């Protein structure tokens, strides 16, 4: 029994150490919403930054990261590497009004991902 | 039956022939409403207003952009809706009954196009996508309005407006825009953009048109957004501009009424406060009233604030009254189906019905105006959060606005009710495919080809056509492909009340012959009944229209008083450029075989700026198309209008003198040649509209 406890402790220490050495990746970009007008003109933006938008990043149905955009719609957060589902708080498990709604984070790398929210305005 | 997003359906070719009304519930008017007076705001005419002729730098502002990745838009429904008739022509109802409607082609012509839109009013216009077609016909006139230009034709297709070519100077040369008049002029506004001072006028959008045979008046409605002239920034103030012809001749004077809609909407869930945008206005009329509906979106947030109804006395408008009462109804909370707001949904895109002639109106219940709407959209299912719902539904909502004769009194007293009918499944369609979609643009798709080009020598000795259009940062967004244009969502499209029935259609995902998902059409013929004093309705006939390898989008139905109809739409496909198409419809056989309108075959791929990441940089792309077509009934004929690509324009002609050693128009991309036009397009877009007259 004492041996088992010792082995478990060693395994836990090793696992924790391994996790500690996993290099997180950075995810950054802009969240836009649009169209903001019914018709699109080439000289004018049809979209605008989604300021104050909250994005939730989940793996295995567990929210791992959360970020709120600034007034320019920008966001930045660090996450462990892996594939994430992205949604807004009030959305279901898949936020199909947010594009893209799945992103990959790479260890030790910055990945630029811009998101887009469809307003429905036509 | 409520289906999850992954639910697979396998429906037969015949969807729902004579489905009895399975009324899930009935909603009655509880939405906020109010009555106010709208004064006559002024007069207008289809004559071009004052402007400063554009200089040689007329297009310079357009190409200062700098570029994003995937094509954005609503995800399509991820289930299956099968249509299997084996014919490849998409007939949707297997009926042994002989069709009443057998359309004979009478006349067809190209309506307004992007060249005319861009270079009207001396070029003091924006390049716009999509056109959003309004069409109405009566008294020998065909009135067409798109974003943001208007024309009036005789029934042979010649413009009857004054020829304004001589004074329409753009980049030093008179430009023939086929007499078209910009909508800013028509409504008495400054130019959309003064190309000399860069000052912006009102932002006019979403035109619709209706000819009312009873009053012999034309009605044109737009949504106008107020802007800061120096920056073009939206102030959030917006109004519906309603123009009514002063006589039965639309080339003369018009009376203009402005309905401020800035504060009209439901603060859904308490998190979607105003001000609101009165989006997607559409119009209808019954014996007594003229009706405008909008979709209210909060400027602040991503939720939805309900479809709004504006009801006015048709007689008072026709008479040019100095003040007309408008009854406003907010449909928030009126549909008894669940949403994230609770046990009810707001109405979404209530399309008011039009009726042909003078004798097709429903005079029951003190006069009745009908509307149809659908509820697969996120706006109906998730109005509070503005997130995605199921994007599919099997419900059709029929609305009745009764006692409309009271609109002609000092105290209008209207009642709005609705009934939910069960219909076949429909869901958000995928984007259209067009010939070449997803491949590198060749020289027949000149704007896309230019954006990818690194080797063409320019007039100034530089290499790379892209330099004519975008900056280096935008160009770094990457290679372009031929776009897949928008297919709309599942919102209701044009609605008719004719021969005692309601006729409507919407865009849906469809799996023709059980194959890959495409954009198709779900259509409905509904028999409403107010004989018991409350609204009852049943689906007389319904079905789908789709075809293997094709996409059908933006349907618009016109029906004669005798019940013979034509459904217009854009057809595109794996081997088909966007084309103007139609199919017969009647209440006996449903929708028949589809065909491309004579002269309406697409000549090239959609090559619009909204479909390219470099031209939209740093914003996401959404290849705009539509956002609606139109149909108008005149006597026993149906006039239809759809967006299509009418002209070819090869890369060499598109570049003209902007390419080393080249010749042609001194405005980039018009393909106007050395005679300086008229060209079929601008550098930024190539859409056209097709108008056809059919006798079903």
Report the Cα B520 to chain-centroid distance in Å: 17
Q: Which of B339, B225, B213, B235 is nearest to B285 (CA)?
A: B213
Q: Is B324 exposed, middle or buried (0-12, 13-18, 19+ CB in 10 A)?
A: buried
Contact status of A37 with chain B (Cβ, < 8 Å): yes
Residue A10 has pLDDT above 90, yes or no: no
The token pair at B234 is 């939206």
> Minimal Cα–Cα distance from A47 to chain B, Å?
7
Question: What is the 3-state secondary structure of B327-376?
Answer: EEEECCCCECCCECCECCECCCCCEEEECCCCCCCECHHHCEEEEEEECC
**CA gap B46, B294 in Å, rounded:** 25
pLDDT at B15 over 50: no
Compare all CA atoms of chain A with the CA of B226 and give the residue at the minimum distance: A37
Residue contact B385–A41, C-beta within 8 A: no
Mean pLDDT on B150-177: 97
What confidence score (pLDDT) does residue B63 get? 65
Asked if B280 and B347 touch (Cβ cutoff 8 Å), the reply is: no
Size of chain B in residues: 696
Rounded average pLDDT over B455-468 = 98
For position B28, what pLDDT does the model report? 54
Per-residue pLDDT tens over the stretch B26-65? 555 445 679 999 999 999 999 888 888 876 544 455 664 3
Report, as an integer, the average pLDDT of B573-600.
97
Helix (H) or strand (E) holding B240: strand B234-245
pLDDT band for B73, please (50, 70, 90 cuts). Answer: low
Asked if A92 and B387 come within 8 Å (Cβ–Cβ), the reply is yes
As a whole number, the mean pLDDT across chain B is 91
How many Å apart are CA B528 and CA B500, to the nearest integer? 8
Q: At B181, which helix (H) or strand (E)?
A: strand B181-182
What is the maximum alpha-carbon separation in chain A?
74
CATH of the domain at A29: 2.60.40.10
Measured at the CA of B279, the angle between CA B211 and CA A36, to 5 degrees, comes to 140
Q: How many domains does chain A have?
A: 1
Verify whether the Cβ–Cβ distance A42 to B388 is below 8 Å.
no
**Residue-range definition of the domain harbouring residue A100:** 24-118
DSSP assigned state of B533: S
The backbone torsions φ and ψ at residue A3, rounded to the nearest 5 degrees and listed phi first, read -65, -40
Please tell me the distance in Å from B364's CA to the nearest CA on chain A. 34
pLDDT at B96: 45
Burial B228-260 (b: 16+ CB within 10 A, else e): ebeebebebebbbbbbbbbebebbebbbbbbbe
Per-residue pLDDT at A79: 97
A72 touches chain B (CB under 8 A): no
* Strands B630-634 and B590-591, bridge-based pairing: unpaired
Reported ipTM: the value is: 0.89
CA distance B674 to B199: 31
Q: Among partner residues A36, A43, A116, which is closest to B62 by beta-carbon distance?
A: A43
**Model pLDDT for residues B110-154, shown as the tens digit of each residue:** 999 999 999 999 999 999 999 999 999 999 999 999 999 999 999
pLDDT of residue B696: 97
The answer as to whether A109 is a domain residue is yes
For B641-685, what is each residue's pLDDT tens digit?
Answer: 999 999 999 999 999 999 999 999 999 999 999 999 899 999 999
CA distance B474 to B464: 14
The pLDDT tens digits of the residues spanning B186-229 come to 999 999 999 999 999 999 999 999 999 999 999 999 999 999 99
Helix (H) or strand (E) holding B426: strand B415-427
CA B42 to chain centre: 26
Best of B134, B620, B625, B682 to disrupt the A interface (most A CBs within 10 Å) is B620
**Residue A118 touches chain B, beta carbons under 8 Å:** yes
Q: Is residue A81 part of a domain?
A: yes
Separation between Cα atoms, residue B410 and residue B512, nearest integer Å: 53
Q: Does A102 touch chain B (CB under 8 A)?
A: no
Structure confidence at residue B27 (pLDDT): 54
Q: Looking up tokens 């349907």, which residue turns up?
A: B555
* pLDDT given for residue A91 in this prediction: 74
Nearest chain B residue to A52 by CA distance is: B301
Q: Is the pLDDT of residue B171 over 80?
A: yes
At B26 the pLDDT is 54
Of B408, B380, B636, B402, the C-alpha closest to B528 is B402
Question: Residue A11 pLDDT more than 70?
Answer: no
Please indicate, yes or no, if residue A98 is contained in any of the structural domains: yes
Tens of pLDDT, residue by residue over B331-373, are 999 999 999 999 999 999 999 999 999 999 999 999 999 999 9
Chain A residue numbers with beta carbons less than 8 Å from the beta carbon of B73 are 99, 118
Structure confidence at residue A36 (pLDDT): 94
pLDDT of B453 reads: 98
Name residues whose C-beta falls within 8 Å of residue B695's C-beta, 6 or more positions apart in sequence: B103, B104, B106, B636, B637, B638
Comparing B430 with B269, the larger pLDDT belongs to B430
Give the list of residues 6+ apart from residue B54 with CB closer than 8 angstroms, or none.
B122, B123, B124, B169, B170, B171, B195, B196
Question: B82 versus B2: which is more confidently predicted?
Answer: B82
pLDDT tens per residue, range A63-95: 999 999 999 999 999 999 999 999 988 776 677
B67 pLDDT more than 50: no
Give the mutation candidate from A28, A37, A38, A117 for the B interface (greatest B CB count, under 10 A): A38
Strands ordered across the beta sheet of B637-644 = B104-113, B688-695, B637-644, B630-634
- Chain B interface includes A20 (CB < 8 A): no
From A32, which residue of chain B is nearest by alpha-carbon distance?
B619
CB count within 10 Å of CB A50 equals 25
Helix (H, G, I), strand (E, B) or coil at B133: coil
pLDDT at residue A8 is higher than 60 = no
Nearest by CB to residue A45, choosing from B75, B384, B619, is: B619
Contact at CB, B206 and A39, closer than 8 angstroms: yes
Please give the average per-residue pLDDT across B299-304, as a whole number.
92
Smallest Cα distance from B74 to chain A, Å:
6
Cα B446 from Cα B611, distance rounded (Å): 13
Chain B positions touching A119 (Cβ under 8 A) are 297, 302, 386
Tokens for B86, please give them: 């084996």
CA distance B130 to chain A (A): 6
Q: Is A22 on the interface with B (CB under 8 A)?
A: no
State the DSSP string of B285-318: E-SSEEEEEEEEEESSSSS---EEEEEEEHHHHH
Our CA-based measurement puts residue B537 at a distance from the nearest CA of chain A, in whole angstroms, of 29
- DSSP code of residue B155: T
Q: Which residues of B touch A98 (CB under 8 A)?
A: 387-388
Nearest CA of chain B to the CA of A37: how many Å? 8
Inter-chain contacts counted by CB atoms under 8 A, chains A and B: 132
Which chain B residues touch A38 with a CB distance below 8 Å? 132, 205-206, 223, 279-280, 627
Tokens of A86: 């992205």
| Best of B60, B238, B377, B387 to mutate (most A CBs within 10 Å, chain A) | B387
The verdict on residue A3 lying in a domain is no
- Which residue is closest to B74 within chain A, CA to CA? A97
Q: Is the pLDDT of residue B488 over 80?
A: yes
Residue B14, both tokens: 């015949």
pTM: 0.91
Q: What is the pLDDT of residue A14?
A: 45
A55 min Cα distance to partner chain B (Å): 12
**pLDDT tops 60 at residue B66:** no
In this prediction, residue B12 carries a pLDDT of 27
Instruction: Test A99 with B620 for CB contact under 8 angstroms.
Output: yes
Distance from CA of B68 to the nearest CA of A (A): 8
pLDDT in tens, B247-259: 999 999 999 999 9
> What pLDDT was estimated at residue B620?
83
Half-sphere exposure of B21 (CA within 13 A, CB side): 17
Name which of B51-55, B241-245, B530-534 the model is least confident about: B51-55
Residue B269 DSSP SS3: helix
């Amino acid at each position: 029994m004492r041996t088992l406890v010792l082995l478990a402790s060693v395994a836990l220490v090793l696992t924790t150490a391994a996790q500690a050495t996993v290099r997180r990746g950075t995810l950054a970009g802009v969240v836009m919403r649009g169209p903001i007008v019914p018709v699109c003109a080439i000289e004018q933006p049809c979209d605008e930054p989604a300021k104050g938008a909250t994005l939730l990043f989940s793996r295995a149905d567990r929210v791992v990261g959360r970020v709120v955009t600034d007034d320019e719609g920008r966001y930045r957060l660090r996450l462990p590497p892996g594939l994430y589902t992205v949604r807004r708080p009030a959305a279901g498990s898949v936020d199909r009004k947010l594009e893209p709604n799945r992103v990959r984070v790479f260890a030790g790398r910055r990945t630029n991902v811009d998101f887009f929210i469809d307003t429905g305005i036509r | 039956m409520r289906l999850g997003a992954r639910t697979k359906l396998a429906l037969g070719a015949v969807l729902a022939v004579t489905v009895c009304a399975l009324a899930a519930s009935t909603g009655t008017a509880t939405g906020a409403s109010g009555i106010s007076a709208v004064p006559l705001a002024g007069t207008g005419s289809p004559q071009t207003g004052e402007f400063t002729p554009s200089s040689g730098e007329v297009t310079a502002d357009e190409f200062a952009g700098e570029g994003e990745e995937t094509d954005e838009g609503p995800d399509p429904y991820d289930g299956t809706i099968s249509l299997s008739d084996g014919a490849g022509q998409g007939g949707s109802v297997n009926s042994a009954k002989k069709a009443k409607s057998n359309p004979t082609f009478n006349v067809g012509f190209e309506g307004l196009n992007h060249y005319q839109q861009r270079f009207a009013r001396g070029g003091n216009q924006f390049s716009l996508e999509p056109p959003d077609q309004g069409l109405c016909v009566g008294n020998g006139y065909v009135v067409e309005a798109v974003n943001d230009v208007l024309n009036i034709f005789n029934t042979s297709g010649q413009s009857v407006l004054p020829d304004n070519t001589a004074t329409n100077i753009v980049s030093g040369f008179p430009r023939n825009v086929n007499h078209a008049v910009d909508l800013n002029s028509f409504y008495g506004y400054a130019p959309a953009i003064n190309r000399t001072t860069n000052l912006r006028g009102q932002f006019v959008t979403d035109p619709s048109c209706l000819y009312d045979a009873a009053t012999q008046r034309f009605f044109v409605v737009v949504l106008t957004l107020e802007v800061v002239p120096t920056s073009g920034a939206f102030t959030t103030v917006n109004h519906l501009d309603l123009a009514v012809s002063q006589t039965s001749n639309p080339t003369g004077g018009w009376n203009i009424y402005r309905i401020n809609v800035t504060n009209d909407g439901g603060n859904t869930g308490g998190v979607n406060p105003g001000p609101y945008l009165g989006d997607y206005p559409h119009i209808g009329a019954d014996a007594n009233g003229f009706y405008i509906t909008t979709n209210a979106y909060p400027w602040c947030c991503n939720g939805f604030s309900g479809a709004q109804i504006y009801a006015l006395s048709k007689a008072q408008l026709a008479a040019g009254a100095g003040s007309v009462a408008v009854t406003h109804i907010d449909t928030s909370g009126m549909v008894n189906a669940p949403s994230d707001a609770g046990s009810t949904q707001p109405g979404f895109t209530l399309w008011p019905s039009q009726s042909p002639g003078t004798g097709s109106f429903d005079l029951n219940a003190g006069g009745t105006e009908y509307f149809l709407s659908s509820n697969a959209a996120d706006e109906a299912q998730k109005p509070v959060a503005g997130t995605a719902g199921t994007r599919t539904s099997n419900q059709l909502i029929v609305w009745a606005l009764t006692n409309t004769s009271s609109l002609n009194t000092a105290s209008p007293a209207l009642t709005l009710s609705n009934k939910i009918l069960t219909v076949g499944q429909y869901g958000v369609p995928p984007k259209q495919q067009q010939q070449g979609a997803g491949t590198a643009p060749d020289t027949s798709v000149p704007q896309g080809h230019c954006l990818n080009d690194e080797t063409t020598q320019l007039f100034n000795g530089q290499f790379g056509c892209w330099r004519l259009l975008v900056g280096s940062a935008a160009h770094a967004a990457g290679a372009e492909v031929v776009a897949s244009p928008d297919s709309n969502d599942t919102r209701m499209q044009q609605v008719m009340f004719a021969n005692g029935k309601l006729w409507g259609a919407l865009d849906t995902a469809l799996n023709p012959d059980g194959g890959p998902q495409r954009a198709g059409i779900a259509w409905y013929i509904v028999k409403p009944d107010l004989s018991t004093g409350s609204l009852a309705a049943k689906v007389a006939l319904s079905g789908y229209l789709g075809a293997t390898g094709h996409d059908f989008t933006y349907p618009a139905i016109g029906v004669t008083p005798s019940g013979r109809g034509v459904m217009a739409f854009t057809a595109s496909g794996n081997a088909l450029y966007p084309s103007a198409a139609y199919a017969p419809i009647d209440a006996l056989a449903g929708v028949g075989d589809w065909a491309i309108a004579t002269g309406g075959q697409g000549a090239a791929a959609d090559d619009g700026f909204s479909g390219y990441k470099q031209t939209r940089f740093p914003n996401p792309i959404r290849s705009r198309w539509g956002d609606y077509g139109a149909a108008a009934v005149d006597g026993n004929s149906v006039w239809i209008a759809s967006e299509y690509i009418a002209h070819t324009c090869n890369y060499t002609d598109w570049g003209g003198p902007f390419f080393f050693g080249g010749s042609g128009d001194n405005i980039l991309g018009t393909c106007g040649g050395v005679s300086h036009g008229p060209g079929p397009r601008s550098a930024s877009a190539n859409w056209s509209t097709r108008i056809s007259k059919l006798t079903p």
